[in-house]
Chains A and B, each alone.
Chain A
Amino acid sequence: MFSQRIDRLLKRTILGTGATIAVGAIVLYFGMRNDVTDVGYRPQQPVPFSHKLHVGQLQIHCQYCHAGVEQSAHSPVPTTSVCMGCHIVIKAESPKLQLVRESWEKGIPIQWRRVHKLPDYVHFNHARHIRAQIDCQSCHGNVEIQGVIAQNKPLSMGWCLSCHRNPEEHIIPARPISGIFTGERLPEDFREHLFEPINSNLVKGVAARVRPITSPQYGAWETDIPTPVIAGIPHPKLPGYGPENCSACHY
């Protein structure tokens, strides 16, 4: 119908447009996943605080500063008074701590930049996960080797569900350094294994033994947890399957 030249041009245009759309779709589909866009977000904080120094070298437990994570949905960023508890003596003149001292004297909060952020239509309860003896490392990565904190896991819905469905493959059980209460004393030699799970087979054991009573989405399963013995001590629970009910996480 057309001349040979136009015909060839037409063919090439159609092919080229198709290829561009296909490549674009692939790039958008894979490139916009949370593990590409979110993982590795590492903002500079107003105070150059190093978890590598405080946790890795000084072995200060996570809950020393993030106290209250056992009771609260939100894991608190420590108040300035927690910093000043030690830094009123240690490095009291350091210019890096100028902002902390100002905050302490004037009562102005330090504006830390938030690294891990979930969408506002879901809720995540730290206390529930801590009391199920799930280590901080499961979601926050190796904090003890990070000088500046970066997001380590995608925090997407698929990622959450992968743990709720197959906890034994993903969850790292409590380590001594996290300060998570397991209901039992630490083994005698825990000081040499501060950064390793206390009972590395805990989740596997529980998942193998404990089966949900109801349909899994309601998250009720058989356990042999003793009833809380002392009022006021947050009793640990066994790690197991998480609920898959939509309303477990979504408002």
Chain B
Amino acid sequence: MSTPAKIALALLLALMATFTIGVLSGKIWWFSEDPPLMVIPDMDDQFRLKPQGEARFFADNRAQRDPVEGTLPRQGKTYPFGMGDVDSAEKYFAAGNPLPKTEYVLARGQNRFNTFCSPCHNYTGTGDGLVQQKGFGNQVTMNLLREEARAYSDAKIFHVISAGQNIMPAYADRISETDRWAIVHYIRELQQKANGGMVPPTSNGTVSSTQSTTVSKRMQ
């Protein structure tokens, strides 16, 4: 074998070794649009329906069937009021927030608020979240700390989260009832902090006029 051939062979072997080590150690990897190769399929795919899966048996190909009409959830309740039905909601939840305002509940409220509300309302409730800034254009996200919102009853805040308002969609299907009340506690705390530590005017649905005026004076 001539010297150049030897060098070429050595280089080739070195390249192959590097590649093999790279693949085995996970440093080299590549993307594929083809489904993974099944060498020994065993019972990897069994004849059964999976959540959000496909079922050719049904005309619409959905494995997940809609519940029969009138079905009630085993946990919690479906939210009974529509978007505009604030008055009924306020009457129904007149007792106010059923959760105690403990540190644990507030932590949960912060967690759910950051997850579901902060994209638009921002982490502080000021209504300038990143989705609002980059997406909504001339649509306005409400500032949760404004005077009008501070005067809302707990029941009304709960209703707005559950059923939506203006362009805000309803969140009753994604946030549980307990978590929504925890969010209400957390929003109250944000309002209180923004208002210089003053206790929000209400916690049980009624706002006395003297309290509202004090709030507005403080704001000026």
* A residues apposed to B, CB below 8 Å: 28, 30, 32, 34-44, 57-61, 63-64, 67-68, 72, 74, 76-77, 81-82, 84-86, 88-91, 108-109, 111, 119-121, 150-151, 176, 179-186, 191, 229-233
- Distance from B127 Cβ to chain A, minimum over Cβ atoms (Å): 15
In the bound assembly, the distance between CA atoms of A65 and B34 in angstroms comes to 26
Contact between B106 and A64 (Cβ–Cβ < 8 Å)?
no
Contact A230 B33, CB 8 Å, known A61-B115, A90-B136: no
- Distance from A124 Cβ to chain B, minimum over Cβ atoms (Å): 12
Contact between A37 and B36 (Cβ–Cβ < 8 Å)?
yes
- Distance from B16 Cβ to chain A, minimum over Cβ atoms (Å): 11
Contact A185 B107, CB 8 Å, known A39-B29, A86-B131: yes
| Residue contacts A-B, CB under 8 angstroms, 24 given | A30-B20, A32-B39, A34-B36, A35-B26, A37-B36, A37-B37, A40-B29, A42-B33, A57-B130, A61-B115, A63-B115, A67-B116, A74-B50, A90-B135, A119-B42, A119-B43, A120-B46, A180-B111, A183-B107, A184-B107, A185-B106, A185-B107, A186-B114, A230-B105
Contact A40 B30, CB 8 Å, known A90-B136, A120-B43: yes
Judged by a CB distance under 8 angstroms, whether B2 is at the interface is no
User: Which residues of chain A are near B42, meaning CB under 8 Å?
Assistant: 119, 121
Contact between B39 and A37 (Cβ–Cβ < 8 Å)?
yes
Contact of A229 among B34, B102, B176 (CB under 8 A): B102
Contact of B114 among A39, A84, A121, A179 (CB under 8 A): A179
User: Which residues of chain A are near B29, meaning CB under 8 Å?
Assistant: 39-40
In the bound assembly, the distance between CA atoms of A60 and B107 in angstroms comes to 19
Decide if the interface of chain A is mainly helix, strand, loop or mixed: loop
Judged by a CB distance under 8 angstroms, whether B52 is at the interface is yes
Contact between B46 and A58 (Cβ–Cβ < 8 Å)?
no
Contact between B174 and A86 (Cβ–Cβ < 8 Å)?
no
Contact of A183 among B51, B60, B104, B179 (CB under 8 A): B104
- What 9 pairs across the A-B complex have the smallest Cβ distances? A232-B178, A179-B115, A85-B169, A120-B46, A67-B174, A90-B135, A74-B51, A119-B44, A42-B31
Contact between B36 and A41 (Cβ–Cβ < 8 Å)?
yes
Q: 15 other contacts beyond A41-B31, A57-B134, with CB at 8 A cut-off?
A: A36-B23, A42-B32, A43-B35, A58-B119, A58-B135, A85-B169, A86-B131, A86-B135, A89-B167, A90-B135, A108-B60, A121-B42, A121-B43, A186-B111, A232-B179
Task: With CB as the reference atom, state the residue of chain B lying closest to A35.
Answer: B26
Judged by a CB distance under 8 angstroms, whether B218 is at the interface is no
User: Which residues of chain A are near B26, meaning CB under 8 Å?
Assistant: 35, 39
Contact A185 B60, CB 8 Å, known A39-B29, A77-B52: no
Contact between B32 and A40 (Cβ–Cβ < 8 Å)?
yes
Judged by a CB distance under 8 angstroms, whether B208 is at the interface is no
User: Which residues of chain B are near A183, meaning CB under 8 Å?
Assistant: 104, 107
In the bound assembly, the distance between CA atoms of A43 and B24 in angstroms comes to 23
Q: Which of A64, A74, A77, A233 has the most CB of B within 10 A?
A: A233
In the bound assembly, the distance between CA atoms of A86 and B36 in angstroms comes to 34
Contact between B46 and A230 (Cβ–Cβ < 8 Å)?
no
Contact A32 B116, CB 8 Å, known A74-B52, A120-B48, A232-B177: no
In the bound assembly, the distance between CA atoms of A60 and B116 in angstroms comes to 8
Q: Which of B34, B104, B110, B167 has the most CB of A within 10 A?
A: B104
User: Which residues of chain B are near A180, meaning CB under 8 Å?
Assistant: 111
In the bound assembly, the distance between CA atoms of A184 and B46 in angstroms comes to 42
Q: Which of B174, B175, B176 has the most CB of A within 10 A?
A: B174
In the bound assembly, the distance between CA atoms of A196 and B29 in angstroms comes to 25
- Distance from A164 Cβ to chain B, minimum over Cβ atoms (Å): 20
- Distance from A9 Cβ to chain B, minimum over Cβ atoms (Å): 22
Q: In residues 137-157 of chain B, which contact A (Cβ within 8 Å)?
A: 139
User: Which residues of chain A are near B48, meaning CB under 8 Å?
Assistant: 120
Contact between B178 and A231 (Cβ–Cβ < 8 Å)?
yes
Contact A89 B111, CB 8 Å, known A60-B119, A230-B105, A230-B178: no
In the bound assembly, the distance between CA atoms of A243 and B52 in angstroms comes to 28
User: Which residues of chain A are near B103, meaning CB under 8 Å?
Assistant: 185
